[in-house]
């Protein structure tokens, strides 16, 4: 059977149509079809900030001044939302509270890093027989970007950052464009786009045309061969990215004004947030920022105070303010969470807090999320939610809902197993009230 | 940390000596630490292994663990201590079955019920860690492998002295009564697996080899034998399995059969009647080289190897045969291409975990990654050497084609490349482009 596309054009027809200028097998027609689909898709974008290690909720968003010895070392401060008080180390976020919603009643049972991270990165509990895709992989499948712009970009957010991403059953084709390196470093450049040691644009053009002329084998083979097709498309997209001024400009963080760079803070996390905004402007649909080191089994307070909270506070607050000022927050969801919270009890090992999945806090902002609210509450030591409880599945469903992806949509794994994106959750209604 | 190498070398030792497949499987299924020796003998071996593995990767190729008959790591590695994991891994690796569905409920499109699963699982619950000195039973999580000096090195297996509520039962076969102090029930499991009448053991192995060489299993995916997924050519599968059994599970015999077949040697070129066929082996399937092969090929063509960190003594810096532990997490060094070209985690048994799918990251890597470009620039690399020794452009281009594609350039190709070199800023830069193009053409990237 000939493979057909939505408009009834077969690939053979597409090749016959022969629009000039594409690489190898002529796939320009296919890109046009894709672009048409893209236009129909939602215009919403996503920034997912993952605080790996597990952020202490009781020391940040869910302070308990009356919890006695579990209260911890920090005091709370007022925010621009009367009912919300946050940690004294978060002065920047305290000024942006009208823009975000804090969810305090998410609870689950996966108290180890790997299962917890997979759960919070995918909206599905980890199982041995199937690897679920990260949010960005799903978005890359559902939302298109302009030509030459990668749909899903992964940024290093600093800290001891184990980039534990996977595109799971959606396959490596939906994996992220991974921008290595520290955007706060002088002379920052991206490994895949690097030009100083890499190729100049002119050289790339010359090489592309050389390759086009000599890469003539297998032209007749492709009709039943998806791998070959896929490689052609990948090369075309790769050359597009390499030639794209948009992407290059987006990554040229040094062209940003000093004021704006300072707003986000001169650290890896802050500059990663700034890059995220620049990429969304360029047309990227999902940016994931991995900010690690929150696993504070020892010296919880010292670590939070000296290393973890200040850059996170400044970077995230800068991102929210800047997205808002540029009108981007309307169409961009920002979701910030760890894989779990931390124990209210302070351990004897050395003023640390341990893993605690039964209560955690998350931040959502933008893309239709009603800002300036607190959703849910926990008991007097922030140990468990009181009343309504949401799961990470619900949290993920909310995220997809905000960017116009049906979280119950069914995919087929490579061996044909039908799987919903996140089948067990439903969006948290208060977020969109 | 070195158990991955112990595992690798144990298996290499068996494969290189062409040990019969059923015997290798015996080494996994019926593994014991003692292997019938006294505790003292075993402790001496364990202490030697620990001594040699004390330094990180200070480990020879010719090692004690590799020579052991059985491989107890099959049972003792962290993720495998859970009987559910063991049963899934065993069924998947040696029988080509995916029993995951039956773990929680009756399999929806196969014959296995949850009861079958639980009864079969009993085979994997009959072993226990114990301290060889005192015989005291261990909690399995106390055993951290030979590298850990905080526990006794000589942990060994013995039968649990409790009669299980669910006696072990072979899949679709008989119950195996468990007698305290009686024979090892795992041997009965192994005997059943290797029995000539077992419908999975030999077929799943020959099918895997077939899939490896032909790009698609006769049963496909190759590790999914179930009643809803029949073989595309049952006669062929049966014939290969009978050959394998008849030659006493001689693995090399099956390799030879496949490689000498007309089917394997067919061209990729389709004709009008078979161009849409992708499952009857009417023509060769074009496949991108798997991650490790591709990486080694780039190293070989450019003459500049990848570095994989410190390896056991005598190991070449080569991607094939690497027991890399943390590919998935590594974004730097050589873990990066391994990851983007789809090498699976080493713990995964499922065939679905290896991805040969193309991606933009792969193309970007081959087109523009510093690691690849540096190999073209390397002054000790092949291109630099050839630039010095071969002064004639035609001859040099021909040499590069022979190196990368194992063939002479066609006239038109030669002309195009010559033209490109002539137009380039310098001969060196032009030739670098030629070599770059040969690392990026589909003819290089695809097995054909």
pLDDT, tens digit, 9 for 90 and up, residues A351-390: 999 999 999 999 999 999 999 999 999 999 999 999 999 9
Percent of chain A residues topping a pLDDT of 90:
63
As a whole number, mean pLDDT of residues B343-362 equals: 66
Whether B286 sits inside 8 A of A218 (CB atoms) is yes
pLDDT at B50 exceeding the cut of 50:
yes
pLDDT at A77 exceeding the cut of 80:
yes
Q: Is some CB atom of chain A closer than 8 A to the CB atom of B157?
A: no
Q: What is the CATH number of the domain that holds A157?
A: 3.40.720.10
* Bigger pLDDT: B305 vs A104: A104
Whether A175 sits inside 8 A of B285 (CB atoms) is no
- Report pLDDT for A220: 62
* A6 inside domain: no
pLDDT at B389 exceeding the cut of 80:
yes
* A215 inside domain: no
pLDDT at A86 exceeding the cut of 60:
yes
Return mean pLDDT, chain B: 81
pLDDT at B144 exceeding the cut of 50:
no
Q: Which domain holds residue A103?
A: 40-192+245-432
pLDDT band at B354; cut points 50, 70, 90: low
- In residues, how long is chain B? 448
- Report pLDDT for B131: 55
- Report pLDDT for B132: 52
In chain A, the number of structural domains is: 1
For tokens 């079969």, the residue is: B120
Q: Which of A2, A129, A214 is opposite residue B441, by nearest beta carbon?
A: A214
Q: Is some CB atom of chain A closer than 8 A to the CB atom of B422?
A: no
Interval A207-266: pLDDT, tens: 999 999 998 887 666 545 667 777 887 888 889 988 888 998 999 999 999 999 999 999
Whether A242 sits inside 8 A of B367 (CB atoms) is yes
Tell me the three-class secondary structure of chain B, residue by residue. CCHHHHHHHHHHHHHHCCCCHHHHHHHHHCCCCCCCCCHHHHHHHHHHHHHHHCCCCCCCCCCHHHHCCCCCHHHHCHHHCCHHHHHHHHHHHHHCCCCHHHHHCCCCCCCCCHHHHHHHHHHHHCEEEECCCCCCECCHHHCCCCCCCCCCCCCEEEECCCCCCCCCECCCCCECCCCCCCCCHHHHHHHHHHCCCCCCHHHHHHHHHHHHHHCCCCCCCCCCCECCECCCCHHHHHHHHHHHHHCCCCHHHHHHHHHCCHHHHCCCCCCCCCCCCCCCCCCCCCEECCHHHHHHHHHHHHCCCCCCCCCCCCCCCCCCCCCCCCHHHCCCCCHHHHHHCCCCCCCCCCHHHCCCCCCHHHHHHHHHCHHHHHHHHCCCCHHHHHHHHCCCHHHHHHHHHHHHHCCCCCHHHHHHHHHHHHHCCCHHHHHHHHHHHHHHCHHHHEEC
* A413 inside domain: yes
Q: Which of B329, B373, B434 is opposite residue A197, by nearest beta carbon?
A: B373
pLDDT at B13 exceeding the cut of 60:
yes
- In residues, how long is chain A? 433
pLDDT at A162 exceeding the cut of 60:
no
pLDDT at A288 exceeding the cut of 50:
yes
CB atoms within 10 A of CB A325: 10
Asked which of A75-84, A167-176, B350-359, B422-431 is least confident by mean pLDDT, the reply is: B350-359
pLDDT at A269 exceeding the cut of 50:
yes
pLDDT at A118 exceeding the cut of 50:
yes
- Report pLDDT for B141: 42
* A414 inside domain: yes
The encoded tokens of residue B381 equal 């690399």
Q: ipTM of the assembly?
A: 0.77
CB pairs under 8 A between A and B: 173
As a whole number, mean pLDDT of residues A337-349 equals: 94
Which of B141, B223, B280, B360 is best to mutate for the A interface (most A CBs within 10 A)? B360
- Report pLDDT for B53: 60
pLDDT at A114 exceeding the cut of 90:
no
- Report pLDDT for A325: 96
Q: Which of B341, B357, B443 is opposite residue A173, by nearest beta carbon?
A: B357
* A313 inside domain: yes
* A14 inside domain: no
* A12 inside domain: no
As a whole number, mean pLDDT of residues B46-67 equals: 64
Interval B79-112: pLDDT, tens: 556 777 788 889 989 999 888 777 777 777 678 8
pLDDT at A71 exceeding the cut of 80:
yes
* A15 inside domain: no
Q: Report how far residue A145's alpha carbon sits from residue A38's, in angstroms, rounded to the nearest whole number.
A: 8
Which of chain B's residues have a Cβ under 8 Å away from the Cβ of A235? 363, 367, 440
- Report pLDDT for A352: 93
Dihedral sign computed on CA atoms, order A75, A78, A81, A83: positive
């Amino acid at each position: 059977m000939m493979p057909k596309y939505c408009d009834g054009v077969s690939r053979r027809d597409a090749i016959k149509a022969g629009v000039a200028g594409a690489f190898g097998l002529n796939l320009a027609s296919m890109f046009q079809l894709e672009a048409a689909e893209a236009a129909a898709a939602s215009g919403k974008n996503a920034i997912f900030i993952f605080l790996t290690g597990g952020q202490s909720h009781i020391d940040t968003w869910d302070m308990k001044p009356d919890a006695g010895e579990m209260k911890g070392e920090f005091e709370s401060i007022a925010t621009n939302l009367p009912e919300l008080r946050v940690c004294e180390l978060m002065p920047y976020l305290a000024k942006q509270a009208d823009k975000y919603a804090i969810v305090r009643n998410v609870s689950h049972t996966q108290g180890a890093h790997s299962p917890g991270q997979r759960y919070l990165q995918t909206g599905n509990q980890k199982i041995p027989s199937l690897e679920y895709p990260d949010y960005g992989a799903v978005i890359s499948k559902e939302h298109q970007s302009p030509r030459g712009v990668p749909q899903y970009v992964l940024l290093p957010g600093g800290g001891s950052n184990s980039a534990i991403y996977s595109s799971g059953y959606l396959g490596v084709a939906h994996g992220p464009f991974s921008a290595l390196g520290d955007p706060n470093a002088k002379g920052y450049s991206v490994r895949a786009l690097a030009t100083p040691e890499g190729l100049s644009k002119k050289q790339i053009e010359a090489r592309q045309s050389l390759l086009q002329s000599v890469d003539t084998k297998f032209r007749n083979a492709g009709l039943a061969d998806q791998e070959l097709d896929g490689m052609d498309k990948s090369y075309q997209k790769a050359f597009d990215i390499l030639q794209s001024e948009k992407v290059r400009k987006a990554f040229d963080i040094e062209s940003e004004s000093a004021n704006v760079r300072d707003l986000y803070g001169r650290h890896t996390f802050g500059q990663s947030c700034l890059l995220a905004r620049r990429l969304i402007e360029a047309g990227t649909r999902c940016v994931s920022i991995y900010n690690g080191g929150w696993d504070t089994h020892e010296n919880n307070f010292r670590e939070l105070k000296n290393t973890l909270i200040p850059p996170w506070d400044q970077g995230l607050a800068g991102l929210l303010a800047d997205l808002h000022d540029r009108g981007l927050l309307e169409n961009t969801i920002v979701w910030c969470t760890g894989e779990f919270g931390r124990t209210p009890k302070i351990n004897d090992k050395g003023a640390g807090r341990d893993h605690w999945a039964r209560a955690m806090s998350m931040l959502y902002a933008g893309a239709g999320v009603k800002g300036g609210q607190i959703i849910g509450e926990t008991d007097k030591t922030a140990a468990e939610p009181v009343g309504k409880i949401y799961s990470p599945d619900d949290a993920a469903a909310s995220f997809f809902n905000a960017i116009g992806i049906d979280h119950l949509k069914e995919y087929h794994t490579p061996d044909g197993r039908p799987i919903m994106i996140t089948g067990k959750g439903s969006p948290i209604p208060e977020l969109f009230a | 940390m070195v158990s991955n190498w112990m595992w690798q070398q144990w298996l290499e030792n068996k494969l290189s000596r062409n040990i019969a497949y059923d015997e290798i499987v015996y080494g996994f299924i019926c593994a014991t630490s003692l292997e019938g020796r006294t505790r003292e003998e075993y402790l001496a071996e364990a202490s030697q292994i620990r001594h040699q593995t004390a330094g990180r990767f200070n480990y020879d190729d010719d090692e004690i663990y590799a020579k052991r008959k059985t491989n107890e790591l099959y049972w003792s590695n962290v993720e495998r201590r859970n009987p559910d994991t063991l049963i899934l891994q065993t069924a998947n690796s040696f029988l080509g079955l995916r029993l995951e569905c039956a773990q929680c409920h009756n399999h929806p499109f196969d014959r296995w019920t949850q009861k079958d699963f639980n009864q079969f699982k009993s085979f994997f619950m009959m072993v226990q860690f114990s301290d060889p000195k005192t015989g005291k039973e261990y909690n399995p999580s106390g055993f951290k492998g030979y590298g850990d000096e905080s526990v006794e090195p000589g942990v060994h297996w013995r039968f649990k002295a409790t009669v299980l509520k669910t006696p072990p039962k072979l899949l679709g076969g008989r119950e195996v009564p468990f007698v305290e102090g009686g024979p090892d029930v795992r041997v009965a499991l192994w005997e059943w697996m290797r029995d000539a009448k077992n419908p999975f053991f030999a077929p799943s192995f020959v099918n895997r080899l077939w899939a490896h060489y032909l790009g698609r299993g006769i049963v496909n995916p190759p590790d999914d034998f179930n009643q809803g997924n029949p073989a595309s050519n049952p006669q062929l599968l049966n014939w290969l399995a009978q050959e394998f059994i008849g030659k006493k599970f001689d693995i090399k015999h099956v390799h030879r059969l496949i490689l000498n077949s007309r089917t394997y040697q067919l061209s990729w070129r389709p004709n009008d009647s078979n161009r849409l066929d992708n499952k009857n082996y009417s023509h060769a399937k074009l496949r991108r080289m798997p991650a490790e092969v591709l990486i080694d090929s780039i190293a070989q063509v450019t003459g500049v190897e990848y570095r994989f960190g410190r390896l056991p003594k005598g190991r070449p810096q080569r991607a094939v045969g690497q027991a890399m532990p943390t590919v998935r997490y590594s974004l730097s060094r050589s873990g990066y291409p391994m990851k983007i070209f789809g090498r699976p985690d080493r713990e995964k048994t499922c065939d679905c975990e290896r991805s040969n799918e193309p991606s933009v990251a792969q193309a970007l890597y081959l087109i523009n990654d510093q690691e690849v470009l540096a190999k073209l620039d390397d002054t000790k690399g092949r291109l630099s050497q050839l630039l010095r020794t071969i002064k004639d452009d035609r001859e040099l281009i021909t040499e590069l084609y022979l190196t990368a594609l194992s063939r002479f350039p066609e006239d038109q190709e030669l002309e195009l490349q010559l033209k490109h070199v002539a137009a380039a800023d310098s001969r060196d830069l032009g030739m670098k482009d030629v070599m770059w193009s040969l690392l990026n053409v589909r003819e290089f990237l695809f097995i054909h």
